[in-house]
A = this chain, B = another copy of it.
Amino acid sequence: MFVLALTAEIISIGTELLLGQTVNTNTCFLAEELQSLGIESYFQTTVGDNTERIHEVLEPALQRADIIIITGGLGPTPDDLTHEAIYKFFKTKPSLDKNYLKQIKNKFYLRGYEKMPPMNKKQAYKPKNVKWIPNKFGTANGIIWRWQKNPDKTILTFPGVPKEMYQMWNDAAKPYLRKISKGNIFYSTTLKFTGIGESALAEKVKKYFDLKNPAVAPYASTGEVKIRVTAKARTNKMAKDLVLPVVKNILEKTGKYFFGFNDETLEELVAKKLLSKKKTIAVAESCTGGLLSKRLTDISGSSKYIKLNLVTYSNEAKEKLLGVPGEVLKKHGAVSSKVAALMANGVKKLSNCDIGISITGIAGPSGGSKEKPIGLVYFGLAKGNNIKTQKILFGSNSSRKEIKFLATQFALNWLRKEI
Protein backbone atom coordinates (compact mmCIF):
# COMPACT_ATOMS: atom_id res chain seq x y z
CA MET A 1 0.00 0.00 0.00
CA PHE A 2 1.31 3.41 -0.95
CA VAL A 3 0.37 6.53 1.01
CA LEU A 4 1.75 9.91 0.02
CA ALA A 5 2.89 11.82 3.09
CA LEU A 6 2.77 15.59 3.32
CA THR A 7 6.09 17.40 3.45
CA ALA A 8 7.00 20.43 5.51
CA GLU A 9 9.93 22.82 5.80
CA ILE A 10 10.93 24.87 8.81
CA ILE A 11 12.17 28.44 8.35
CA SER A 12 13.62 30.28 11.35
CA ILE A 13 13.79 34.05 11.06
CA GLY A 14 16.04 36.05 13.37
CA THR A 15 19.34 37.86 13.14
CA GLU A 16 20.25 36.60 16.64
CA LEU A 17 20.40 33.07 15.17
CA LEU A 18 22.79 34.19 12.44
CA LEU A 19 25.00 35.86 15.03
CA GLY A 20 25.14 32.71 17.15
CA GLN A 21 23.56 34.42 20.16
CA THR A 22 20.76 31.88 20.45
CA VAL A 23 20.73 28.12 19.97
CA ASN A 24 17.86 27.19 17.68
CA THR A 25 15.82 24.88 19.91
CA ASN A 26 12.54 25.79 18.17
CA THR A 27 13.53 23.94 15.03
CA CYS A 28 14.41 20.84 17.04
CA PHE A 29 11.01 20.93 18.75
CA LEU A 30 9.13 21.42 15.48
CA ALA A 31 11.12 18.75 13.66
CA GLU A 32 10.26 16.19 16.31
CA GLU A 33 6.59 17.22 16.23
CA LEU A 34 6.42 16.89 12.44
CA GLN A 35 7.99 13.46 12.72
CA SER A 36 5.32 12.38 15.22
CA LEU A 37 2.59 13.62 12.86
CA GLY A 38 4.02 11.56 10.00
CA ILE A 39 4.88 14.70 8.03
CA GLU A 40 8.19 14.44 6.17
CA SER A 41 10.71 17.23 6.46
CA TYR A 42 13.85 17.51 4.32
CA PHE A 43 15.08 21.07 4.77
CA GLN A 44 15.48 23.60 7.59
CA THR A 45 16.55 27.15 6.87
CA THR A 46 17.56 30.12 9.01
CA VAL A 47 17.58 33.64 7.70
CA GLY A 48 17.80 37.15 9.18
CA ASP A 49 15.12 39.81 9.59
CA ASN A 50 15.37 40.96 5.97
CA THR A 51 12.50 40.96 3.45
CA GLU A 52 14.55 40.12 0.38
CA ARG A 53 16.30 37.19 2.02
CA ILE A 54 13.06 35.90 3.52
CA HIS A 55 11.66 35.80 -0.03
CA GLU A 56 14.80 34.03 -1.20
CA VAL A 57 14.19 31.11 1.17
CA LEU A 58 10.38 31.13 0.97
CA GLU A 59 10.38 30.64 -2.80
CA PRO A 60 12.16 27.26 -3.01
CA ALA A 61 10.45 26.09 0.19
CA LEU A 62 7.02 26.66 -1.39
CA GLN A 63 8.12 24.76 -4.46
CA ARG A 64 9.37 21.78 -2.49
CA ALA A 65 6.99 21.38 0.44
CA ASP A 66 3.28 21.36 1.21
CA ILE A 67 3.61 23.11 4.55
CA ILE A 68 5.99 25.91 5.55
CA ILE A 69 6.46 26.54 9.25
CA ILE A 70 8.00 29.91 10.07
CA THR A 71 9.14 31.05 13.52
CA GLY A 72 10.34 34.50 14.55
CA GLY A 73 9.89 38.10 13.49
CA LEU A 74 6.32 38.65 14.76
CA GLY A 75 7.27 41.13 17.50
CA PRO A 76 6.29 44.81 17.56
CA THR A 77 9.69 46.34 16.75
CA PRO A 78 10.65 47.62 13.28
CA ASP A 79 13.05 44.72 12.70
CA ASP A 80 10.21 42.20 13.11
CA LEU A 81 8.93 41.90 9.57
CA THR A 82 7.95 38.30 8.88
CA HIS A 83 4.27 39.02 8.21
CA GLU A 84 5.14 42.10 6.12
CA ALA A 85 7.52 39.95 4.06
CA ILE A 86 4.73 37.46 3.39
CA TYR A 87 2.24 40.20 2.32
CA LYS A 88 4.85 41.47 -0.09
CA PHE A 89 5.63 37.98 -1.39
CA PHE A 90 1.96 37.44 -2.26
CA LYS A 91 1.51 41.05 -3.38
CA THR A 92 -1.36 41.61 -0.99
CA LYS A 93 -2.27 44.19 1.64
CA PRO A 94 -3.41 43.37 5.18
CA SER A 95 -6.18 45.14 7.03
CA LEU A 96 -6.55 46.09 10.66
CA ASP A 97 -8.42 43.54 12.79
CA LYS A 98 -10.11 45.96 15.20
CA ASN A 99 -11.32 43.18 17.38
CA TYR A 100 -7.80 41.82 17.85
CA LEU A 101 -6.44 45.33 18.42
CA LYS A 102 -8.85 45.60 21.37
CA GLN A 103 -7.51 42.33 22.74
CA ILE A 104 -3.92 43.55 22.48
CA LYS A 105 -4.85 46.75 24.32
CA ASN A 106 -6.54 44.67 26.98
CA LYS A 107 -3.42 42.50 27.39
CA PHE A 108 -1.40 45.62 28.16
CA TYR A 109 -4.07 46.88 30.54
CA LEU A 110 -3.99 43.55 32.41
CA ARG A 111 -0.19 43.80 32.70
CA GLY A 112 -0.62 47.16 34.46
CA TYR A 113 0.25 49.41 31.49
CA GLU A 114 -1.78 52.60 31.08
CA LYS A 115 -1.89 52.13 27.33
CA MET A 116 -0.56 49.95 24.54
CA PRO A 117 2.83 51.11 23.17
CA PRO A 118 2.01 52.44 19.65
CA MET A 119 4.40 50.03 17.91
CA ASN A 120 2.25 47.04 18.93
CA LYS A 121 -0.56 48.16 16.62
CA LYS A 122 1.03 46.43 13.66
CA GLN A 123 0.46 43.05 15.34
CA ALA A 124 -3.28 43.49 14.71
CA TYR A 125 -2.92 43.49 10.90
CA LYS A 126 -3.60 40.47 8.71
CA PRO A 127 -5.19 39.73 5.34
CA LYS A 128 -8.96 39.20 5.83
CA ASN A 129 -9.15 35.69 4.45
CA VAL A 130 -6.55 33.98 6.63
CA LYS A 131 -6.95 32.84 10.24
CA TRP A 132 -5.11 33.86 13.40
CA ILE A 133 -3.19 31.37 15.54
CA PRO A 134 -4.01 32.82 18.99
CA ASN A 135 -1.14 33.58 21.37
CA LYS A 136 -2.18 33.07 25.00
CA PHE A 137 0.94 34.57 26.58
CA GLY A 138 2.04 37.43 24.35
CA THR A 139 0.58 39.83 21.79
CA ALA A 140 2.18 38.27 18.70
CA ASN A 141 -0.52 36.15 17.07
CA GLY A 142 0.54 33.78 14.33
CA ILE A 143 -1.38 33.11 11.12
CA ILE A 144 -2.53 30.02 9.20
CA TRP A 145 -1.93 31.17 5.62
CA ARG A 146 -4.24 28.82 3.74
CA TRP A 147 -5.93 30.87 1.02
CA GLN A 148 -6.64 31.22 -2.68
CA LYS A 149 -3.30 32.96 -3.27
CA ASN A 150 -1.61 29.63 -2.83
CA PRO A 151 -4.30 26.98 -2.78
CA ASP A 152 -2.22 23.79 -2.34
CA LYS A 153 0.16 25.09 0.30
CA THR A 154 -0.08 26.14 3.93
CA ILE A 155 2.18 28.58 5.72
CA LEU A 156 2.08 28.71 9.51
CA THR A 157 3.74 31.62 11.34
CA PHE A 158 4.77 31.68 15.01
CA PRO A 159 6.70 34.04 17.25
CA GLY A 160 10.23 32.95 18.17
CA VAL A 161 9.68 32.92 21.95
CA PRO A 162 9.68 29.19 22.68
CA LYS A 163 6.97 29.24 25.35
CA GLU A 164 4.54 31.15 23.09
CA MET A 165 5.38 29.01 20.07
CA TYR A 166 4.84 25.74 21.99
CA GLN A 167 1.41 26.85 23.24
CA MET A 168 0.29 28.01 19.80
CA TRP A 169 1.63 24.87 18.17
CA ASN A 170 -0.11 22.57 20.61
CA ASP A 171 -3.42 24.43 20.79
CA ALA A 172 -3.94 25.40 17.16
CA ALA A 173 -1.35 24.28 14.64
CA LYS A 174 -0.99 20.65 15.62
CA PRO A 175 -4.74 19.88 15.58
CA TYR A 176 -4.97 21.69 12.23
CA LEU A 177 -2.10 19.69 10.72
CA ARG A 178 -3.47 16.45 12.10
CA LYS A 179 -6.71 17.22 10.28
CA ILE A 180 -5.13 18.04 6.92
CA SER A 181 -2.39 15.43 6.95
CA LYS A 182 -3.40 12.09 5.62
CA GLY A 183 0.10 10.87 6.07
CA ASN A 184 1.68 8.02 7.84
CA ILE A 185 2.44 7.24 11.44
CA PHE A 186 6.10 6.96 12.42
CA TYR A 187 7.10 4.51 15.11
CA SER A 188 10.64 4.32 16.35
CA THR A 189 12.69 2.49 18.96
CA THR A 190 16.17 3.51 20.02
CA LEU A 191 18.60 0.90 21.32
CA LYS A 192 21.39 2.16 23.57
CA PHE A 193 24.84 0.59 23.82
CA THR A 194 28.00 1.17 25.78
CA GLY A 195 31.46 -0.37 25.84
CA ILE A 196 31.76 -0.43 22.05
CA GLY A 197 32.58 2.22 19.45
CA GLU A 198 30.25 3.35 16.67
CA SER A 199 32.00 1.71 13.77
CA ALA A 200 32.62 -1.58 15.57
CA LEU A 201 28.91 -1.72 16.46
CA ALA A 202 27.87 -0.63 12.97
CA GLU A 203 30.05 -3.37 11.47
CA LYS A 204 27.96 -6.01 13.29
CA VAL A 205 24.63 -4.78 11.96
CA LYS A 206 25.58 -3.03 8.74
CA LYS A 207 23.27 -5.09 6.58
CA TYR A 208 20.28 -3.42 8.27
CA PHE A 209 21.43 0.05 7.22
CA ASP A 210 20.25 -0.71 3.69
CA LEU A 211 16.67 -1.23 4.82
CA LYS A 212 14.22 1.46 3.79
CA ASN A 213 11.26 0.70 6.05
CA PRO A 214 12.12 0.37 8.85
CA ALA A 215 15.16 2.61 8.49
CA VAL A 216 18.09 1.81 10.77
CA ALA A 217 20.70 4.44 11.72
CA PRO A 218 23.48 4.71 14.32
CA TYR A 219 24.32 7.80 16.42
CA ALA A 220 27.33 8.18 18.70
CA SER A 221 28.07 10.34 21.72
CA THR A 222 30.69 10.12 24.49
CA GLY A 223 30.53 6.64 26.03
CA GLU A 224 27.34 5.70 24.25
CA VAL A 225 26.16 4.53 20.83
CA LYS A 226 22.51 4.47 19.77
CA ILE A 227 20.80 2.61 16.96
CA ARG A 228 17.42 3.96 15.96
CA VAL A 229 14.91 1.82 14.09
CA THR A 230 12.08 3.84 12.53
CA ALA A 231 9.14 2.58 10.51
CA LYS A 232 6.42 4.39 8.67
CA ALA A 233 2.97 2.92 8.16
CA ARG A 234 -0.69 3.77 8.14
CA THR A 235 -1.28 2.70 11.73
CA ASN A 236 0.81 2.54 14.87
CA LYS A 237 0.43 -1.22 14.98
CA MET A 238 1.59 -1.68 11.41
CA ALA A 239 4.64 0.50 12.06
CA LYS A 240 5.43 -1.36 15.27
CA ASP A 241 5.19 -4.70 13.46
CA LEU A 242 7.85 -3.47 11.04
CA VAL A 243 10.17 -2.27 13.82
CA LEU A 244 10.07 -5.11 16.33
CA PRO A 245 11.55 -7.98 14.26
CA VAL A 246 14.48 -5.79 13.22
CA VAL A 247 15.06 -4.72 16.84
CA LYS A 248 15.10 -8.37 17.80
CA ASN A 249 17.62 -9.26 15.08
CA ILE A 250 19.91 -6.38 16.00
CA LEU A 251 19.83 -7.33 19.67
CA GLU A 252 20.78 -10.90 18.81
CA LYS A 253 23.99 -9.66 17.26
CA THR A 254 24.82 -6.91 19.75
CA GLY A 255 23.14 -7.91 23.01
CA LYS A 256 26.39 -7.94 24.95
CA TYR A 257 26.77 -4.17 24.62
CA PHE A 258 23.08 -3.23 24.85
CA PHE A 259 21.86 -1.56 28.02
CA GLY A 260 18.55 0.17 27.45
CA PHE A 261 15.77 1.48 25.25
CA ASN A 262 14.94 5.07 24.24
CA ASP A 263 15.52 7.53 27.11
CA GLU A 264 16.71 5.00 29.71
CA THR A 265 19.97 5.97 31.41
CA LEU A 266 22.47 3.72 33.13
CA GLU A 267 21.90 5.45 36.48
CA GLU A 268 18.16 4.83 36.23
CA LEU A 269 18.68 1.17 35.44
CA VAL A 270 21.09 0.78 38.36
CA ALA A 271 18.61 2.57 40.65
CA LYS A 272 15.78 0.26 39.55
CA LYS A 273 17.86 -2.84 40.24
CA LEU A 274 18.98 -1.60 43.66
CA LEU A 275 15.38 -0.81 44.62
CA SER A 276 13.91 -4.05 43.32
CA LYS A 277 16.59 -6.16 45.03
CA LYS A 278 16.51 -3.95 48.15
CA LYS A 279 20.26 -3.39 48.10
CA THR A 280 22.23 -0.38 49.28
CA ILE A 281 25.42 0.90 47.69
CA ALA A 282 28.42 3.02 48.63
CA VAL A 283 30.97 4.64 46.34
CA ALA A 284 34.66 5.37 46.86
CA GLU A 285 35.95 7.49 44.01
CA SER A 286 39.32 8.92 43.26
CA CYS A 287 39.87 10.16 39.69
CA THR A 288 36.16 10.66 38.96
CA GLY A 289 36.04 13.16 41.82
CA GLY A 290 32.39 12.72 42.80
CA LEU A 291 30.84 12.25 39.37
CA LEU A 292 29.70 8.68 40.03
CA SER A 293 28.08 9.81 43.28
CA LYS A 294 26.50 12.76 41.48
CA ARG A 295 25.02 10.56 38.75
CA LEU A 296 23.65 8.02 41.23
CA THR A 297 22.07 10.80 43.32
CA ASP A 298 20.54 12.53 40.28
CA ILE A 299 17.82 9.91 40.59
CA SER A 300 15.00 11.11 42.82
CA GLY A 301 14.61 8.83 45.85
CA SER A 302 18.26 7.76 45.78
CA SER A 303 18.52 8.29 49.55
CA LYS A 304 16.81 4.89 49.81
CA TYR A 305 19.94 3.10 48.64
CA ILE A 306 22.74 5.62 49.15
CA LYS A 307 23.98 6.50 52.61
CA LEU A 308 27.56 7.60 52.16
CA ASN A 309 29.94 8.15 49.27
CA LEU A 310 33.57 9.15 49.52
CA VAL A 311 35.90 11.02 47.23
CA THR A 312 39.29 9.88 48.50
CA TYR A 313 41.75 11.87 46.46
CA SER A 314 44.72 11.55 48.82
CA ASN A 315 46.49 8.38 49.89
CA GLU A 316 45.98 9.48 53.48
CA ALA A 317 42.20 9.44 53.02
CA LYS A 318 42.36 6.01 51.36
CA GLU A 319 44.36 4.74 54.32
CA LYS A 320 42.54 6.44 57.16
CA LEU A 321 38.93 6.01 56.07
CA LEU A 322 38.97 3.01 53.75
CA GLY A 323 41.67 1.04 55.53
CA VAL A 324 43.92 0.61 52.50
CA PRO A 325 47.28 -0.27 54.12
CA GLY A 326 50.07 2.24 53.53
CA GLU A 327 52.41 -0.50 52.33
CA VAL A 328 49.94 -1.58 49.62
CA LEU A 329 49.68 2.02 48.40
CA LYS A 330 53.46 2.26 48.40
CA LYS A 331 54.09 -1.04 46.65
CA HIS A 332 51.34 -0.98 44.00
CA GLY A 333 50.49 2.73 43.78
CA ALA A 334 47.05 4.26 44.30
CA VAL A 335 46.13 3.41 40.70
CA SER A 336 46.19 -0.37 40.92
CA SER A 337 43.94 -3.37 41.03
CA LYS A 338 44.85 -4.10 44.65
CA VAL A 339 43.94 -0.62 45.84
CA ALA A 340 40.68 -0.63 43.83
CA ALA A 341 39.70 -3.89 45.55
CA LEU A 342 40.55 -2.57 49.01
CA MET A 343 38.74 0.73 48.38
CA ALA A 344 35.55 -1.05 47.34
CA ASN A 345 35.68 -3.34 50.33
CA GLY A 346 36.60 -0.46 52.65
CA VAL A 347 33.69 1.75 51.66
CA LYS A 348 31.31 -1.19 51.87
CA LYS A 349 32.37 -1.82 55.47
CA LEU A 350 32.51 1.84 56.50
CA SER A 351 29.01 2.53 55.15
CA ASN A 352 27.45 -0.79 56.16
CA CYS A 353 26.07 -1.10 52.63
CA ASP A 354 25.51 -4.27 50.60
CA ILE A 355 27.68 -3.20 47.69
CA GLY A 356 30.86 -1.12 47.53
CA ILE A 357 32.21 0.21 44.25
CA SER A 358 35.48 2.01 43.71
CA ILE A 359 37.22 3.93 40.93
CA THR A 360 40.90 4.87 40.92
CA GLY A 361 42.73 6.05 37.84
CA ILE A 362 44.50 8.80 35.96
CA ALA A 363 42.17 11.40 34.40
CA GLY A 364 44.98 13.64 33.18
CA PRO A 365 46.05 15.88 31.62
CA SER A 366 49.09 15.43 33.89
CA GLY A 367 50.09 12.50 36.11
CA GLY A 368 50.50 9.88 33.39
CA SER A 369 53.57 7.68 32.98
CA LYS A 370 54.68 4.95 30.62
CA GLU A 371 53.45 2.17 32.92
CA LYS A 372 50.38 4.08 34.04
CA PRO A 373 49.25 6.28 31.16
CA ILE A 374 46.47 8.87 31.21
CA GLY A 375 43.16 7.06 30.82
CA LEU A 376 44.17 4.01 32.90
CA VAL A 377 41.42 3.30 35.43
CA TYR A 378 40.87 0.45 37.90
CA PHE A 379 37.45 -0.45 39.28
CA GLY A 380 36.58 -2.52 42.34
CA LEU A 381 33.26 -4.10 43.27
CA ALA A 382 32.66 -5.65 46.69
CA LYS A 383 29.49 -7.67 47.24
CA GLY A 384 29.05 -10.15 50.10
CA ASN A 385 32.45 -11.75 50.54
CA ASN A 386 33.28 -11.34 46.91
CA ILE A 387 35.58 -8.66 45.46
CA LYS A 388 36.06 -8.21 41.73
CA THR A 389 38.24 -5.76 39.86
CA GLN A 390 38.46 -4.45 36.31
CA LYS A 391 41.16 -2.57 34.47
CA ILE A 392 40.27 -0.30 31.56
CA LEU A 393 42.45 1.91 29.41
CA PHE A 394 40.34 4.75 28.07
CA GLY A 395 41.80 6.55 25.06
CA SER A 396 44.42 9.05 26.14
CA ASN A 397 43.00 11.33 23.42
CA SER A 398 40.09 11.96 25.71
CA SER A 399 39.94 15.05 27.90
CA ARG A 400 39.95 14.99 31.68
CA LYS A 401 36.16 15.49 31.75
CA GLU A 402 35.62 12.75 29.18
CA ILE A 403 37.77 10.22 31.02
CA LYS A 404 35.80 11.02 34.19
CA PHE A 405 32.54 10.50 32.33
CA LEU A 406 33.68 7.31 30.55
CA ALA A 407 34.85 5.83 33.86
CA THR A 408 31.46 6.47 35.50
CA GLN A 409 29.75 5.06 32.41
CA PHE A 410 31.78 1.87 32.76
CA ALA A 411 31.14 1.66 36.51
CA LEU A 412 27.38 2.09 36.11
CA ASN A 413 27.22 -0.50 33.35
CA TRP A 414 29.21 -2.94 35.45
CA LEU A 415 26.89 -2.33 38.41
CA ARG A 416 23.86 -2.84 36.15
CA LYS A 417 25.16 -6.30 35.23
CA GLU A 418 26.45 -7.30 38.66
CA ILE A 419 23.65 -6.25 41.04
Report which A residues bind B (CB closer than 8 A). Answer: 15-25, 27-35, 41-48, 50, 53, 57, 60, 75-79, 110-113, 117-120, 136-137, 161, 163, 197-200, 202-203, 206, 209-210, 217-220, 222, 228, 230, 283, 285, 288-294, 296-298, 300-303, 306-314, 316-317, 321, 350-352, 364-366, 393, 395-402, 404
Contact = CB atoms under 8 A, between A and B. Distances in A.
Contacts of A45: 43-46
Nearest to A296: B289
B298 A397 contact: no
A310 B309 contact: yes
Contacts of A293: 289-290, 293-294, 311
B310 A308 contact: yes
Given A42-B48, A45-B43, A317 B401 contact: no
A23 B28 contact: yes
28 contacts: A15-B217, A16-B219, A18-B44, A19-B32, A20-B29, A20-B31, A20-B34, A20-B35, A22-B219, A24-B24, A24-B28, A78-B209, A110-B396, A111-B197, A117-B199, A117-B200, A119-B202, A163-B399, A163-B402, A290-B290, A290-B297, A290-B311, A300-B400, A301-B366, A307-B313, A308-B311, A308-B316, A316-B352
Contact of A306 (B24, B203, B313, B321): B313
B296 A294 contact: no
Contacts of A22: 28, 219
B395 A110 contact: yes
A59 to B, nearest CB: 10
List the number of copies, as a whole number.
Answer: 2
A297 B308 contact: no
Contacts of A300: 364-366, 400
Contact of A21 (B32, B43, B48): B32
Nearest to A215: B15
B296 A113 contact: no
Contacts of A28: 17, 20, 22-24
A145 to B, nearest CB: 22
A230 B60 CA distance: 31
Q: Of residues A50, A306, A396, which shows the largest number of chain B Cβ atoms within 10 Å of its Cβ?
A: A306
Contacts of A77: 198-199, 202, 206, 209, 217-218
A160 B120 CA distance: 41
Contacts of A57: 43
Contacts of A119: 199, 202-203, 206
Nearest to A76: B199
Contacts of A44: 17-18, 45-47
Nearest to A315: B307
A50 B212 CA distance: 13
Contacts of A398: 137
Contact of A298 (B222, B230, B401): B401
Contact of A309 (B20, B203, B297, B313): B313
Contacts of A396: 110
Contact of A294 (B30, B31, B290): B290
Contacts of A110: 395-397
Closest 10 pairs between A and B when the two form their complex, measured CB to CB: A289-B297, A20-B32, A290-B293, A20-B31, A290-B290, A307-B314, A308-B317, A44-B46, A309-B311, A290-B294
A350 B404 CA distance: 26
Contacts of A222: 163
A186 to B, nearest CB: 9
A317 B351 contact: yes
A312 B285 CA distance: 14
Contacts of A76: 198-199, 202
Given A23-B28, A111-B395, A316-B352, 9 more contacts: A21-B228, A60-B60, A75-B199, A78-B210, A118-B203, A289-B298, A289-B302, A290-B291, A308-B310
